[in-house]
Amino acid sequence: MALRLNTQKTQRSYAKFIYIIMKIFLNIVFFRYLFYLWWQEYACFYLTKNISLCILLPLVIINHKELETLINFAKSSLPKECCAFLIGTNSRDEVIIYNIVTLRNYDESIFSFSIDPQDLFFGYKQADQLGLEVVGVFHSHPSLPFPSSKDKKFMRLNPFIWLIYSTVTEEYKGFIYRQQIKEVKLHIIMG
Ligand SMILES: [Zn+2]
């Protein structure tokens, strides 16, 4: 009888221990989140006096298959630059690319690209039909994967994700305009 009571007591104190650990863990998560919001919204700017340091850049998530399709599209369009819309979801800290819409390079150029208004309309319509939004644009470069002066001008007008693939070095990089042009982190999902 005494042994049974002791076992019950041990089980109860074990459950209490787990409960306390969980409570501490949830409190840490909650306060870390509050601190994060406070830092983003108020503290960062007052302490650094530099708005660009406080800007939260989204993490861009793309599936390996979509990325491969874009790369193959760029290679098959050579020597011309190619372009495509990136379609997905957009939140404060994350951009997820679910789909792509390949577009015609209206410039037919090896050094620049532009999108015909009709194709623009088609791209936005495609995104809308999928219940998604146009979250960025992809294009290729016959040089390094960094925005050209023309790109920079249009990045200011279209502050979404700009994914650039170099057909020379076979590198890709993502950028966004947030007060200034910044490189974003790309996360490639396999499978
Ligand atoms: Zn470019």
- Residue 94 annotated in active site: no
CA of 162 to the centre of ligand 1 (A): 9
Q: What's 137's domain CATH number?
A: 3.40.140.10
* pLDDT tens, the chain, 191 aa long: 555 656 777 778 888 888 888 888 888 888 887 777 776 666 666 666 555 556 678 899 999 999 999 999 999 999 999 999 999 999 878 999 999 999 999 888 888 888 888 999 999 999 999 999 999 999 999 999 999 999 999 999 988 999 999 999 999 999 999 888 989 999 999 86
Expressed as residue numbers, the domain containing 9 is 2-54
pLDDT at 47: 65
- Give the distance (Å) from ligand 1 centre to CA of residue 161: 13
Q: How far is the centre of ligand 1, averaged over its atoms, from the C-alpha of 140 (Å)? A: 7
If you measure from the C-alpha of residue 8 to the centroid of ligand 1, how many angstroms do you get, rounded to a whole number? 69
Judgement on whether residues 18 and 81 belong to the same structural domain of the protein: no
3-state secondary structure the chain: CHHHHHHHHHHHHHHHHHHHHHHHHHHHHHHHHHHHHHHHHHHHHHHHCCHHHHCCCCEEEEEHHHHHHHHHHHHHCCCCCCEEEEEEEECCCEEEEEEEEEECCCCCCCCCCCCCHHHHHHHHHHHHHCCCEEEEEEEEECCCCCCCHHHHHHHHHCCCEEEEEECCCCCEEEEEEECEEEEECEEEECC
From the CA of 154, how far away is ligand 1's center (Å)?
10
Quick one: 48 and 98 in the same domain?
A: no
Check whether residue 106 and residue 126 sit in a common domain: yes
Model pTM score: 0.72
Q: Are residues 96 and 14 in the same domain?
A: no
| Total domains, the chain | 2
CA of 41 relative to ligand 1 center, distance in Å: 33
Tell me: do 68 and 37 sit in the same domain. no
pLDDT at 153: 92
81, 94, 133, 183: the catalytic one is 81
Q: Are residues 120 and 47 in the same domain?
A: no
pLDDT at 49: 59
Same domain, 30 and 99: no
Same domain, 99 and 154: yes
